[in-house]
Chain A
Protein backbone atom coordinates (compact mmCIF):
# COMPACT_ATOMS: atom_id res chain seq x y z
CA UNK A 1 0.00 0.00 0.00
CA UNK A 2 1.28 3.48 -0.90
CA UNK A 3 2.12 5.43 2.24
CA UNK A 4 3.67 8.73 3.34
CA UNK A 5 5.02 9.50 6.81
CA UNK A 6 6.17 12.97 7.83
CA UNK A 7 8.29 13.93 10.80
CA UNK A 8 8.37 15.72 13.10
CA UNK A 9 4.66 16.43 13.61
CA UNK A 10 5.53 19.87 14.93
CA UNK A 11 8.67 22.00 14.90
CA UNK A 12 9.40 25.24 16.73
CA UNK A 13 12.34 27.29 15.47
CA UNK A 14 13.90 30.58 16.37
CA UNK A 15 14.16 33.00 13.47
CA UNK A 16 17.38 32.19 11.60
CA UNK A 17 17.64 28.64 13.01
CA UNK A 18 17.91 26.28 10.02
CA UNK A 19 16.36 22.81 10.09
CA UNK A 20 14.94 19.99 7.95
CA UNK A 21 11.57 18.30 7.60
CA UNK A 22 11.41 14.63 6.64
CA UNK A 23 9.02 12.77 4.34
CA UNK A 24 9.41 8.98 4.14
CA UNK A 25 7.40 7.14 1.50
CA UNK A 26 6.60 3.75 0.08
CA UNK A 27 5.01 3.70 -3.35
CA UNK A 28 4.57 1.23 -6.17
CA UNK A 29 6.56 3.22 -8.72
CA UNK A 30 7.04 6.91 -8.00
CA UNK A 31 5.74 9.31 -10.64
CA UNK A 32 6.35 12.40 -8.50
CA UNK A 33 6.79 13.67 -4.96
CA UNK A 34 5.09 16.95 -4.12
CA UNK A 35 5.61 19.50 -1.36
CA UNK A 36 2.84 21.91 -0.43
CA UNK A 37 2.51 24.66 2.16
CA UNK A 38 -0.81 25.14 3.95
CA UNK A 39 -1.75 28.20 6.00
CA UNK A 40 -4.63 28.00 8.51
CA UNK A 41 -8.02 28.15 6.81
CA UNK A 42 -6.57 27.93 3.31
CA UNK A 43 -5.98 25.28 0.69
CA UNK A 44 -2.52 23.81 0.09
CA UNK A 45 -0.16 25.95 -1.97
CA UNK A 46 2.24 24.18 -4.33
CA UNK A 47 5.97 24.41 -3.61
CA UNK A 48 7.90 21.72 -5.49
CA UNK A 49 7.66 18.53 -7.52
CA UNK A 50 10.56 16.05 -7.52
CA UNK A 51 10.57 13.19 -10.01
CA UNK A 52 13.73 11.15 -9.51
CA UNK A 53 16.26 10.29 -6.82
CA UNK A 54 19.05 12.84 -6.60
CA UNK A 55 16.89 15.71 -7.80
CA UNK A 56 16.94 18.98 -5.85
CA UNK A 57 14.86 22.13 -6.15
CA UNK A 58 15.14 25.49 -4.41
CA UNK A 59 12.86 28.42 -3.79
CA UNK A 60 13.96 31.30 -1.57
CA UNK A 61 14.80 29.77 1.84
CA UNK A 62 13.47 26.31 0.93
CA UNK A 63 15.31 23.41 -0.68
CA UNK A 64 13.78 20.02 -1.41
CA UNK A 65 15.76 16.85 -2.02
CA UNK A 66 14.74 13.32 -2.97
CA UNK A 67 16.13 9.82 -2.45
CA UNK A 68 14.53 6.46 -3.27
CA UNK A 69 12.91 6.31 0.17
CA UNK A 70 12.55 9.84 1.48
CA UNK A 71 12.51 13.53 0.78
CA UNK A 72 13.78 16.40 2.88
CA UNK A 73 12.60 19.98 2.95
CA UNK A 74 15.48 22.11 4.21
CA UNK A 75 14.66 25.53 5.59
CA UNK A 76 17.59 27.92 5.77
CA UNK A 77 17.45 30.93 8.11
CA UNK A 78 13.65 30.79 8.47
CA UNK A 79 11.51 33.84 9.08
CA UNK A 80 8.22 34.08 10.98
CA UNK A 81 6.34 34.21 7.66
CA UNK A 82 7.56 30.66 6.96
CA UNK A 83 5.27 29.45 9.74
CA UNK A 84 2.76 27.03 8.20
CA UNK A 85 2.00 23.33 7.82
CA UNK A 86 4.16 21.65 5.22
CA UNK A 87 2.59 18.71 3.40
CA UNK A 88 4.32 15.98 1.42
CA UNK A 89 2.48 13.82 -1.13
CA UNK A 90 3.36 11.11 -3.62
CA UNK A 91 1.81 10.14 -6.91
CA UNK A 92 2.30 6.64 -8.27
CA UNK A 93 2.59 5.73 -11.94
CA UNK A 94 -0.68 3.82 -12.00
CA UNK A 95 -2.83 6.63 -10.63
CA UNK A 96 -3.46 10.37 -10.72
CA UNK A 97 -4.38 10.86 -7.07
CA UNK A 98 -2.00 12.22 -4.45
CA UNK A 99 -1.30 10.31 -1.24
CA UNK A 100 -0.57 12.83 1.51
CA UNK A 101 1.27 12.64 4.80
CA UNK A 102 -0.19 14.29 7.88
CA UNK A 103 2.14 17.25 7.63
CA UNK A 104 4.69 19.08 9.78
CA UNK A 105 3.43 22.16 11.57
CA UNK A 106 6.27 24.70 11.60
CA UNK A 107 6.34 27.71 13.91
CA UNK A 108 9.12 30.28 13.58
CA UNK A 109 9.50 32.78 16.41
CA UNK A 110 11.18 36.20 16.13
Chain B
Protein backbone atom coordinates (compact mmCIF):
# COMPACT_ATOMS: atom_id res chain seq x y z
CA UNK B 1 0.00 0.00 0.00
CA UNK B 2 0.98 3.66 -0.26
CA UNK B 3 3.27 5.04 2.39
CA UNK B 4 3.61 8.55 3.77
CA UNK B 5 4.24 11.06 1.00
CA UNK B 6 5.68 14.56 1.25
CA UNK B 7 5.95 17.42 -1.17
CA UNK B 8 7.96 19.07 -2.43
CA UNK B 9 10.99 16.80 -2.09
CA UNK B 10 13.30 19.80 -2.31
CA UNK B 11 12.64 23.48 -1.74
CA UNK B 12 15.08 26.35 -2.14
CA UNK B 13 13.84 29.70 -0.92
CA UNK B 14 15.22 33.12 -0.17
CA UNK B 15 15.56 34.38 3.35
CA UNK B 16 12.39 36.15 4.45
CA UNK B 17 10.01 34.22 2.17
CA UNK B 18 7.22 31.96 3.46
CA UNK B 19 7.16 28.23 2.62
CA UNK B 20 4.55 25.48 2.89
CA UNK B 21 5.44 21.83 3.24
CA UNK B 22 2.84 19.13 2.69
CA UNK B 23 2.37 15.68 4.20
CA UNK B 24 -0.04 12.94 3.10
CA UNK B 25 -0.20 10.26 5.81
CA UNK B 26 -1.04 6.61 5.40
CA UNK B 27 -4.78 6.18 4.97
CA UNK B 28 -6.45 5.42 8.30
CA UNK B 29 -3.63 6.77 10.45
CA UNK B 30 -5.12 9.24 12.90
CA UNK B 31 -1.82 10.37 14.42
CA UNK B 32 0.56 12.60 12.45
CA UNK B 33 3.94 14.01 13.47
CA UNK B 34 6.39 16.56 12.10
CA UNK B 35 10.12 16.29 12.85
CA UNK B 36 13.14 18.28 11.69
CA UNK B 37 16.58 16.80 10.94
CA UNK B 38 19.48 19.21 10.75
CA UNK B 39 22.95 18.25 9.56
CA UNK B 40 24.77 16.31 12.24
CA UNK B 41 21.80 16.38 14.60
CA UNK B 42 19.14 13.90 15.54
CA UNK B 43 15.52 14.16 14.57
CA UNK B 44 13.86 16.96 16.51
CA UNK B 45 10.14 16.76 17.30
CA UNK B 46 8.06 19.72 16.13
CA UNK B 47 4.33 18.99 16.49
CA UNK B 48 1.86 16.12 16.87
CA UNK B 49 -1.70 15.85 15.55
CA UNK B 50 -4.44 13.58 16.80
CA UNK B 51 -7.10 13.86 14.15
CA UNK B 52 -7.30 17.56 13.32
CA UNK B 53 -6.21 18.83 16.72
CA UNK B 54 -2.65 19.36 17.93
CA UNK B 55 -2.31 18.33 21.58
CA UNK B 56 1.46 18.80 21.50
CA UNK B 57 3.05 21.81 19.79
CA UNK B 58 5.97 21.94 22.20
CA UNK B 59 8.66 21.45 19.57
CA UNK B 60 7.81 24.37 17.29
CA UNK B 61 10.95 26.55 17.54
CA UNK B 62 9.27 29.94 17.13
CA UNK B 63 5.98 31.60 16.25
CA UNK B 64 7.15 31.66 12.63
CA UNK B 65 6.29 27.97 12.51
CA UNK B 66 2.70 26.73 12.32
CA UNK B 67 0.92 23.61 11.14
CA UNK B 68 -2.58 22.50 10.41
CA UNK B 69 -4.33 19.30 9.50
CA UNK B 70 -7.63 19.07 7.68
CA UNK B 71 -10.09 16.20 7.29
CA UNK B 72 -7.96 14.09 9.57
CA UNK B 73 -5.61 13.54 6.65
CA UNK B 74 -3.31 16.01 4.88
CA UNK B 75 -1.12 18.30 6.98
CA UNK B 76 0.70 21.47 6.05
CA UNK B 77 3.70 22.90 7.90
CA UNK B 78 4.17 26.62 7.24
CA UNK B 79 7.33 28.56 7.97
CA UNK B 80 6.98 32.34 7.74
CA UNK B 81 9.84 34.75 7.11
CA UNK B 82 12.34 31.91 6.67
CA UNK B 83 15.81 32.21 8.16
CA UNK B 84 18.99 30.37 7.21
CA UNK B 85 18.83 28.34 10.42
CA UNK B 86 15.55 26.87 9.15
CA UNK B 87 17.51 24.91 6.52
CA UNK B 88 16.99 21.22 7.32
CA UNK B 89 15.11 18.12 6.23
CA UNK B 90 11.51 18.19 7.45
CA UNK B 91 10.11 14.72 8.04
CA UNK B 92 6.50 13.72 8.51
CA UNK B 93 5.36 10.49 10.14
CA UNK B 94 2.01 8.87 10.78
CA UNK B 95 0.78 6.07 12.99
CA UNK B 96 -2.31 4.39 14.32
CA UNK B 97 -3.60 6.00 17.52
CA UNK B 98 -2.34 3.16 19.70
CA UNK B 99 0.07 3.57 22.58
CA UNK B 100 3.57 2.62 21.47
CA UNK B 101 2.59 2.25 17.81
CA UNK B 102 5.39 2.48 15.27
CA UNK B 103 5.65 5.70 13.33
CA UNK B 104 5.96 5.43 9.55
CA UNK B 105 8.11 8.17 8.03
CA UNK B 106 7.89 9.89 4.70
CA UNK B 107 10.93 10.69 2.53
CA UNK B 108 11.18 14.24 3.83
CA UNK B 109 11.39 17.72 2.32
CA UNK B 110 14.87 19.22 2.10
CA UNK B 111 14.55 22.95 2.73
CA UNK B 112 17.41 25.28 1.84
CA UNK B 113 17.17 28.95 2.77
CA UNK B 114 19.64 31.14 0.86
Q: Do A and B come from one complex?
A: yes
Question: Would you call A31 and B42 a contact (CB within 8 A)?
Answer: no
The distance from the CB of B29 to the nearest CB of chain A, in whole angstroms, is: 12
Chain B residue, CB-CB nearest to A30: B100
Q: Bits for B98-109, please: 1 = Cβ < 8 Å to A, else 0.
A: 011011111110
A-B contact count (CB 8 A): 57
Q: Bits for B37-48, please: 1 = Cβ < 8 Å to A, else 0.
A: 000111111001
Q: Name the B residues within 8 Å of A45 (CB-CB).
A: 105
B59 close to chain A: CB less than 8 A: yes
The interface on chain A, measured as residues whose beta carbon lies within 8 A of the other chain's beta carbons, has a size of 25
Question: Would you call A97 and B56 a contact (CB within 8 A)?
Answer: yes
Question: Would you call B43 and A49 a contact (CB within 8 A)?
Answer: no
Extra contacts, 10 of them, besides A43-B91, A43-B108, A97-B48 (Cβ < 8 A), are A31-B100, A32-B100, A34-B102, A46-B102, A91-B100, A95-B56, A98-B33, A98-B45, A100-B44, A102-B40
